[in-house]
Chains A and B, each alone.
Chain A
Amino acid sequence: MADIPWDLRRRALKDSIRHDKRVKEAIRKNLKELIAEENIITSDGRKLVKIPLRYLDQYRFRFGQMGSGTGQGKGNVGDVIARDSERGEGGEQPGDQPGEQVYEAEISVEELTRMMLEDLALPWLEDKEERQITTTSYTFDDVRRKGSMANMDKKRTLIENLKRHAVHKRPKVGAFSDADLRFKVWSVQQEHHSNAAVYLLMDRSGSMTTEKKYIAKSFFFWLVRFLKLKYQTVDMVFIAHDTEAQIVPEQDFFTISNSGGTMCSSAYRVALEHIQHTHPKARWNNYIFHFSDGDNWPEDNSRCKTLIAQLLDHAAMVGYGEIRYYDEATFYGWGNTSEPGRSLLHNELSTVAHQRFITAIIKRKEDVYQALQTFLAKKEGMENAPELGNAAFQVGR
């Protein structure tokens, strides 16, 4: 087959790149569902995660029931030889509500985060008087004739070599001299940032079932990812509460167990005190996100309202997310039971009429994405607001 045109050879590489691109598109289209994917939330800092994609199938007319076939080996009629999960190759998920072939895509958490949170930002971020935080970063941004061999710019060196020979009408690469060598050099950049502190408050009371807590955690998971990705330095404060609140380290926050009653005001109070102490409004943009199922002590609700109002005096934004679902079935999206109303706490809080107090209700896993969008949408008039870290001041050039 020597006479086959060159561009028809090695097409597999092109098609596999195309396939990868389609995988990414499929991921992008299904972020809503992927956002609560357990594989990812529990990825625990692993760089690559596998996510099941049900959207990359090549559809065709096919049979629903695929559970029969021919086998071989010993055994009597009636003997069970396999369960669905043990079916071999070709044993597709059968059934009237047919399982779909699942394609497992591998993707880095960072890339996924970028896709998820592309259009989000911390709203109402302001330049504070004192730009307290400075970070240092190194970037290769210049090419010179002298430098460390480890940083040689091979491509440019080759080009220089080629040029030098070409000048002498010898178009070739070879016989390198010192004059050809090019090196990448770096410069040190110091950046001053607006200061932002984010308070993550989570209800850990007994009524927060595993599923509810999972919702809160997946929200916080993405929030933390987002903050780390987009903003180099953000102070994060984790507060867990039942009837009492305490500040906990990040790793404990995500693995915390639950028990006890609920007094949301305790968490607000701790947050408020911490803000006044450590992150005064003059210098810090403070963001407070609280997740609860709203099963608060009724007497506590009015106190919550007062505290929220106080917090708003000190914060750029306060977000309250309520996780409500009727039962497991609606939560996972099957079943169709009537939807629960808002909690008393939520009713009380929604009388706080303040532009920077934002609430969201999460009824099923897919709503997490919506909640992120609600809380972190770029608000009107934000185009000119400072991005954290974009006012770079360069030194050492």
Chain B
Amino acid sequence: MESQRFLELRELARQLGLDFFEVIFEVVPQDIMAEIAAYGLPTRARHWSYGKVYNRQRVHGQMGLSKIYEIVLNNDPAYAFLLDSNSEIANLLVAAHVYAHCDFFKQNVYFSPTNRNMVNVAVEHALRIDEYIDRYGLDRVERVMDIAFAVDRHLDVHKGVVRKPYPTRQVIERERRPQPYADLFGEEEFALTKAVVGDHLPPHPEKDLLWFFAQYAPIEPWERDVLEIIREESYYFYPQFETKILNEGWATYWHAEILQQYAGLSPSETIDFGVLHAGVVHPGHPMSINPYYLGYRLLVDVERRWDQLYAAGNTSVTGRQKLFEIRAQENDISFLANYLTQELADELELFAYGYACEHGPQSQKKCQKCGESAIQSRQIEDVIYSLVAPRYNYGAPRIVITRVNEDGSLLLEHERSDLGTLDRTYGEKTLGYLYELWKKPVHLKTFGSQHEATTLTYAASGMEISK
């Protein structure tokens, strides 16, 4: 479905400096669109939870509550799905939007480790899971998947998908760096020390929970494989999570730019385009931020500021060049922290909100103010913090595996207390999942609302909490 106009837009996008993979467009009906949206990768292994999302998407779509115009997959070639009920002008906007997303996938540094053949890899995964279902039964396979999904956000993005196991226990000799000017004091220039590695499991706090369990838990090979499959898919999606605002802002900026420069629109189409674009960049609900809108406004603001600096001779980078730089180097956290200014935050009327009352919501007896949210600050630091905090660490509490104890039990630690306490019910259930894999008691060191240390333990007898 590559009409002449699509080709013209593609040519224009390339002239404007976008660099993207080949894009294959497919036009699909609404329920297929709902399916693709539910799965993220349309070819991935089945799981009941996608069915839950799919049901909701489809019903919403049928009732006209939400409409998904387009979905694009980070892959080479990229696959883009267009809704069959899109108007011609909507498809042109979406095509331009998609080209910019693909440019982002290809050029943004955070996407560089992603597997560009993921569509096919996911097929491979799905077939393997199907085979396990045939062999071991849906209930068992589903259970392992449930467990894997429970911790699939605890990754170590710096170590990546492919990792070697920890070194086994051995004594190694290390060359000690000589003290500066050691020779002046007549000391040996080369000193050797002995060090033990691989003494503890893990040798360092381990962030990648699924990797650890796949390597070291007493589970069957197929269970290992299920954990690995879900882990790999989670790595694939992580860059999309951490660049949501920037990526959507970038695509929105470019669909606007490309269609404004495109000579092939009729006057009435230009008006329709304006209406559609206005819908995309609508600020949205007062208590949530539309990433298309925020990303777009921020990029436009940066371009304006750098154009001014450039005109005044204060920088050698034009606004447009600056945007390409940002697209290559930033993720949401750095983008917001580096470029969101007090002036723009004021213009967009952004604020950070929180509970109006210091005890926060109480479960039963509520004071008048408990459970009420109030504007807490319009200071840029606070606004930025409120925007980036949920984007830190895949949105999950930072939890690491610190030690396998002598009795075989496993110790996990919740590392940071400044982002909030753990949800107890969920923590208990998740520890229960991990116990199922580890088959020995699992401890989690965390803290209560007053920052007091608390340890949750899950063992054969169930859950225990100790201070």
Contacts and interface: CB of A to CB of B under 8 A. Distances in A.
A72 B349 contact: yes
Nearest to B149: A58
A75 B287 CA distance: 13
A60 B285 CA distance: 27
A47 interface: no
Nearest to B350: A72
A61 interface: yes
Interface string A43-81: 000000000000011111111110111111111111111
Q: Which of B48, B376, B420 has the most CB of A within 10 A?
A: B48
A179 B369 CA distance: 78
A205 B414 CA distance: 56
B425 interface: yes
A1 B374 contact: no
A327 to B, nearest CB: 13
B59 to A, nearest CB: 11
The contact size tier of chain B is 35 or more
A84 B399 CA distance: 28
A95 interface: yes
Interface stretch (A7-15, A34-42, A168-176, A217-225): A7-15
A17 B375 CA distance: 43
Contact of B354 (A58, A68, A93, A95): A68
A58 B348 CA distance: 36
Interface string B421-452: 11111110110010000000000000001000
A8 B51 contact: no
At the interface, is chain A mostly helix, strand, loop or mixed?
A: loop
Nearest to B374: A80
B353 A1 contact: no
Contacts of B352: 68-71
Residue from B26, B150, B363, B389 whose CB has the most chain A CB atoms within 10 Å = B363
Interface residues of A, number: 58
Contacts, number: 217
Given A12-B38, A58-B149, A72-B349, A77 B360 contact: no
Contact of B119 (A1, A16, A18, A79): A1
A75 B377 CA distance: 10
Nearest to A2: B26
A96 interface: yes
B372 interface: yes
Contacts of A68: 352-355, 376, 386, 389
A95 B351 contact: no
Interface in A237-277: none
A60 B286 CA distance: 28
Which secondary structure dominates where chain B touches chain A?
A: mixed
Nearest to A79: B375
B49 A61 contact: no
A138 interface: no
A94 B129 CA distance: 36
B373 A82 contact: yes
Contacts of A148: none
A62 B123 CA distance: 30
A75 B433 contact: no
A103 B361 CA distance: 21
Nearest to B428: A59
Interface of B: 24, 26, 31, 34-35, 38-39, 42-43, 46-52, 54-55, 79, 119, 123, 126-127, 130, 138, 146, 149-151, 153-154, 283, 285-289, 348-356, 360-364, 369, 371-378, 383, 386-387, 389-390, 396-397, 399, 414, 419-427, 429-430, 433, 449
13 contacts: A1-B42, A19-B55, A56-B52, A59-B430, A60-B153, A62-B397, A65-B420, A71-B353, A72-B286, A83-B373, A84-B361, A89-B288, A94-B361
Given A60-B430, A61-B154, A68-B376, 4 more contacts: A60-B150, A63-B419, A71-B288, A79-B375
Interface of A: 1, 4-5, 7-8, 10-12, 14-20, 22, 56-65, 67-84, 87-91, 93-98, 100, 103, 334
